[in-house]
Structure 1
Amino acid sequence: MFRTVLLAAVALAATPFAHADDFMGSVVQDEYDNMLDEHTPPYREILSSTVGDLEDSGRATYRYTLVRGRTYRFFGVCDADCRDLDLVVYDANNTRVASDFAMNDRPTVDFTVPSNARSTSYTLAVIMASCENDPCQFALGHLRR
C-alpha cells in the first residue's frame, strides 16, 4: 500500500501540471512538454507553469518578482485553434523590455534583469493574437538560468 501511494506521488511530482488533463488538453500539454525539453538546459530551474484561455485578441497579465542579474525565459504554447500567441515583458514603469511578436504559436522571450535595476517587479502580458475558435487555451513556462 505504501509503495503504491509513494509511486503515485512521484508520478504527480514529475508532471509539470498536477492532474494535467484537468487543466489542459493533450495538445497543449504535449506542446508544453516539447518546449520544456527544448529549453532545459541551459535553463535549469523551472519556476512556474501557468494555464489559461483567451478569446481572439484577448490579453492576460501575470506579475513576477525577479532577481537582479539573473536571466529568465518565458515561453508559451497554445492549442490547435490558436494561430498566434505573443508575449511581452514590462518593467515596473510599464516600459516594454522584451517581447516576441513573431507570427507563431510558440513564443519565447529571454530577459536578463539589469544588476542596477531599481525594481525587480515585472509583468508578463500574454496576447492571443489569433484564435480561430474561441476561446483558445495556452500554457506558459517560466524558467531561470
Structure 2
Amino acid sequence: MMRLFSATRSVLVVLTLLSATTVFADEYIDQVRTNLQSRYDYWHNRGGGWTQLPDLQDIGLVNNGKTTSITYTLVKGNTYKIVGVCDSECSAIDLGLSDDTGKLIASSTANNENPIVEVTPIRDGAFTLKVSMQKCENSLGCNYGVDVYRAR
C-alpha cells in the first residue's frame, strides 16, 4: 500500500511539473503572438501597401545558439518583408533567407529581437529562412515568431 501511495504521489508531482511547464510555455507563445500582432499593427498603420500572408506565419521554439529552418514558396517579382519576433526571454534572433541553391540572398543580423529581411526574388521557387537564436536566457529555449508580408 505504501508503494502505491508513493508511486501515486510521484505521478502527481510529475503531472504538476508538466502542467506548470505548459503554463509557462503558453505564456511565452502568447508573448510571441502579441509581438507579431504589434508588428502587424505597425506595418498596417504605417501604410506602404504591405499585405500580411497569414498562411506563412510560423511560431516555434529554438535553443540558444541553435537554428531552425522554414521553407517558403515565393513568387518572382513580388517584394516580401519577413519579420521576426521572440518572447521576453530572448533579446536577439537573426534571420537569413537562402534561395533553392543555398545562396544567402537576404539577412538581418542586427542583434535584436525584431529582425526584418526584405527580398524581391528573381525567380519563383522554394526559399529557406533560417531563424537563429542568438540570445536566449531560458535553458529550455525561447519562442520565436515569423510573419511574411507582400507588397501590394
Q: TM-score range by the shorter chain?
A: 0.7 to 0.9
| 2:31 aligned counterpart, secondary structure | helix
Measure, in 2, the Cα distance between the counterparts of 1:121 and 1:56: 27
Match of 1:126 among 121, 128, 131: 131
Choose between structure 1 and 2: higher helix proportion: 2
Deviations 1:4-63 (CA, angstroms, capped at 9, x unpaired):
xxxxxxxxxxxxxxxxx9695332222111111122342124242111011101111011
What TM-score do you get using the length of structure 1 for normalisation? 0.77
Q: Is the 8 A contact 1:24 1:51 kept in 2?
A: no
RMSD: 1.8
Measure, in 2, the Cα distance between the counterparts of 1:99 and 1:86: 8
Bigger Rg, structure 1 or 2: 2
Aligned length: 122
Query: What residue in structure 2 maps to residue 141 of structure 1?
Result: 147
Q: Does 1:105 align with 2:113?
A: yes
Query: What residue in structure 1 maps to residue 38 of structure 2?
Result: 34
Q: How does 1:1-145 map to 2 (within 5 A)?
A: 25-40=29-44, 41=47, 42-47=49-54, 48-114=56-122, 117=123, 119-134=124-139, 135-145=141-151
Cα deviation, residue 97, structure 1: 0.3
Cα deviation, residue 89, structure 1: 0.3
| 1:80 aligned counterpart, secondary structure | coil
Query: What letter is aligned with 2:150?
Result: R
Same amino acid, percent of matched pairs: 29
What TM-score do you get using the length of structure 2 for normalisation? 0.74
